[in-house]
Amino acid sequence: MKKILFATLLVFSIGSYAQLDLGVDIQSRYIWRGLQLGGNSASVQPYIEYSTGKFAFGAWGAYNLGGTGQGNEADLYMTYSPNESLSFTLTDYFFPGDNNNQGYTPYNTGHVFEAMVSYASSGGFGMAIATNLGGAIKYDDGGDEKSAYSTYVKLSYEKTVDNIDYSLFAGAVFGDDNGYYFTDGSGLINLGLSASKEIQITEKWALPVNAALIFNPDEENIFITFGFSI
């Protein structure tokens, strides 16, 4: 098995540039697509990603510093980027605090599988469409259990001014029949502005920081967040 894995990585690496990236983000609140998932506590979000050529394979997590299982997450993903503007991503979202302590398997309890396509123009405009494909996305339709293929659509515009990266964004969900996004089926859930920059700490090291103002019109809620990366 180890030989097969090594050979697979070697094939991906030949003739391409391979890179391993890892780190951790500390966020004042875990806000995902306009939804507060981590309760009223800060969130530690580690990540690791191996990229080679047009492919990237990664793992991302979120852990609530409040000591509860709410907002804990351990995701795996794979991204294919045929060019600098377009990317396709498959993600396995796993929520260890929301599957009645049944563990990583079975996959239809604590997991949600999603496919996403993203586009970013050279002028700063971007669009992303993400659809749930399977896992714990069932709902009761008059006694008949069906899958809910919730679809999230996000539009954004990014611009850099005085070494600060700004992003305006608006996100809405459709077909949310099981309330995965806490809506009655559809709604505008993610509207706001984010900013990020690097603060030079030493001659060789800068601290990336970020802040965001996020409004969820569907929930009539607003969030202001701050975070940094190490």
Answer whether residue 95 is part of any domain: yes
Decide if 45 is inside a domain: no
Tell whether 46 is covered by a domain: no
Give how many domains the chain has, as a whole number.
1
Does the residue 44 lie in any domain? no
Residue 31 lies in a domain: no
Q: Does some domain include residue 203? A: yes
Q: What local confidence, expressed as pLDDT, does residue 79 receive?
A: 98
Residue 154 counted as domain residue: yes
At 69 the pLDDT is 66
Alpha helices in the chain (DSSP H): 2-13
Beta-carbon contacts of residue 78 (< 8 Å; ≥ 6 apart): 55, 56, 57, 58, 89, 90
pLDDT digits (tens, 9 = 90+) for 61-106: 999 988 666 788 999 999 999 999 999 999 999 988 655 556 787 7
Q: How many residues does the chain have?
A: 230
39 — pLDDT class (breaks 50, 70, 90): confident
What pLDDT, on the 0 to 100 scale, is given for residue 134? 85
Burial class of residue 140, CB neighbours in 10 A (0-12, 13-18, 19+): exposed
Full domain range(s) for residue 150? 69-229
Q: Is residue 194 part of a domain?
A: yes
Q: What is the DSSP letter of 5?
A: H
Q: Taking 90 as the threshold, does the pLDDT of residue 22 lie above it?
A: yes
193 vs 195: CA distance, rounded Å = 7
- Cα–Cα distance between 36 and 214 in angstroms, integer? 10
d(CA 35, CA 195): 19
The Cα 229–Cα 206 span in angstroms is 10
Other Cβ atoms within 10 Å of 30 Cβ, number? 25
Task: Write the pLDDT tens digit of every residue in 138-170.
Answer: 766 666 667 778 999 999 999 999 999 999 999
